[in-house]
Amino acid sequence: MADREERIEKIVSLIVSNWKRLSEDPFQVPVGISARHVHLTREHVELLFGGGYELTPYKPLSQRGQFACREQVSLLGPKGCIEKVRILGPEREHTQVEISSSDGRVLGIRPPVRTSGDIKGTPGISLRGPKGEITLQEGVIAADRHIHMTPADAKWFKVSDRDKVNVLVPGDKGGMLKQVTIRVSDAARLDFHVDTDDANAFLLVQGQWVSIRKEESI
């Protein structure tokens, strides 16, 4: 009985806090902070971890079907090395390394700001796994700031896939992030993805709600 009351209380408090948030500003998105990570092809999984090796999911990510893996690799740049970089699954058609601009300083690589998947002409890097090392000719990016949403969300926010919007952040180091790409897909779950540089600069907290503003309103 107490258990049931507790559950009701939780649901009521969730409804109240969501209602409060929506009545303050109906155009808000939760923050998801992406640390540096790597997406691998089947071939590269085998070169780094051994023939026939399968990645081990250990934590689901906000976007349906995506997961963090137990496996990690080292990034070897011309100037430095970063160890214990997480692999994200599932496997992809192209290997891609997503780092922040400050990671780039450590490695000696300048990652261009790109939307995930758009790696043509980007810098290369070497990866070291427990069973081998590979050198990519391209694939290192600083992922653009982006908001995952469903078509229904897009209707609510009055935006379309690939639109650019602004995001307002309150606080001691508040401000506005521009050039935020809208990414609409059926499998999406509403999430505003920033890298650790943006999170540190704006003092963003995982799960915090922030406000979208349309480009033309600025």
Residue for token pair 């758009």 = 118
Minimum CB separation of residue 141 from its own copies in Å reads 11
- DSSP class of 215: G
Minimum CB separation of residue 184 from its own copies in Å reads 21
Minimum CB separation of residue 2 from its own copies in Å reads 37
Residue 101 makes contact with its own copies by CB under 8 A:
yes
Q: Which CB atom, from 33 or from 134, has the smaller least distance to its own copies?
A: 33
One-letter identity of residue 175 = G
Q: Which of 102, 126, 150, 185 binds its own copies (CB under 8 A)?
A: 102
Helix, strand or coil for residue 66? coil
Minimum CB separation of residue 102 from its own copies in Å reads 4
Of 3-11, 37-45, 54-62, 142-150, which part binds its own copies (CB under 8 A)? 142-150
Minimum CB separation of residue 25 from its own copies in Å reads 15
**Pairing mode, if any, of strands 140-143 and 133-136?**
unpaired
Residue 200: how many other CB atoms lie within 10 Å: 14
Residue 214: how many other CB atoms lie within 10 Å: 14
Residue for token pair 């092809």 = 41
Q: Which of 116, 197, 209, 214 binds its own copies (CB under 8 A)?
A: 197
Measure the CA–CA gap between 129 and 41, rounded to whole angstroms. 14
Hey, which residues between 103 and 132 contact its own copies (CB under 8 A)?
105, 112-113
Residue 100 makes contact with its own copies by CB under 8 A:
yes
Instruction: Give the phi and the psi of residue 31 in degrees, each rounded to 5.
Output: -85, 135
**Pairing mode, if any, of strands 164-169 and 209-214?**
antiparallel
Q: Which of 179, 205, 207, 215 binds its own copies (CB under 8 A)?
A: 179
Task: Note whether 184 and 157 are within 8 A (CB).
Answer: no
Residue 178 makes contact with its own copies by CB under 8 A:
yes
Q: Which residues would be at the binding site for its own copies (CB under 8 A)? A: 100-102, 105, 112-113, 142, 144-145, 166, 171-179, 196-198, 200-203
